Amino acid sequence: MRLKKRSVFSLLSPFMEEERKKRLEEVAEKRTKGVVLVLENLHDPHNLSAILRSAEAFGIQYIYLTGQYPEDINRAISLGSENWITILKEPRLKKVVKHLRNEGYIIAATLPSSSGIDPKDYKEKKPVALFLGNEHSGLTEEAVNSADIIFTIPHSGFVKSLNVSVTAAICSYSLLKKRFLKNFSLTKEEKNSLLDLWAFKSVPNSQRILKEVKKRKFKRLSQ
């Protein structure tokens, strides 16, 4: 007797309320990879936590950490957003840039530069990898030289720079107001993988439940 393989999401569905299942599916459907964030040499875990929170709220799924980065997250600030997004860690900037170019991304550096454009004026029909740098020194020269485009948030006051988490939020929101970026949705496989992971994190004792299901399936196959 051969049993059809079922996803983690379907196996754990009986242990979730219908409203919860529906919410997970709705959020997965709206996730985008039209914008990904690349955080280079970020220092402050508070800033990282704030960026994760904004990214998750806007539907961004992938965040890359490169160079040096905090190992800790302030959960009072992130509000659990790290549980719902995919954080990819790769210390080598060159490798991140190469990967994103191969995936068809425009490499965008955020700088207080007179040559930069307002992110709301972006018109390329390509997804954006938004690079944000260290709180004090900004992006490295290597990151800036790798960029295809520079984004600059217009300023009207005396202060010419913003906190990195604020910059990430403004740029992300401005870019994702463009439907052609929002419409770079996840593949079916990516959505299903997320649903499996989210269900696992949502159901208490999910690991024990899955072990029990596996045990029962083995017994049925043995009969």
Residue 223 in contact with residue 1, Cβ under 8 Å?
yes
Tokens of 97: 């840039």
> For the segment 147-159, what is each residue's pLDDT rounded down to a tens digit?
999 999 988 888 7
Q: How far apart are CA 49 and CA 152, in angstroms?
A: 23
What pTM did the predictor assign?
A: 0.90
Confidence of residue 177 (pLDDT cuts 50, 70, 90): very high
C-alpha separations of 26 from 21, 23, 29, 191 in Å: 9, 5, 5, 10
Per-residue model confidence (pLDDT) at position 222: 42
> For the segment 181-207, what is each residue's pLDDT rounded down to a tens digit?
988 999 999 999 999 999 999 999 999
Domains by residue range for the chain, with CATH: 33-182 (3.40.1280.10)
**Which among 58, 18, 61, 66 has a CA at the least distance from the CA of 40?**
66
pLDDT of residue 59 exceeding 90: yes
Strand 86-89 relative to strand 35-40, pairing: unpaired
Positive or negative: CA dihedral 154, 62, 188, 11 = negative
Q: How far apart are CA 34 and CA 105, in angstroms?
A: 9
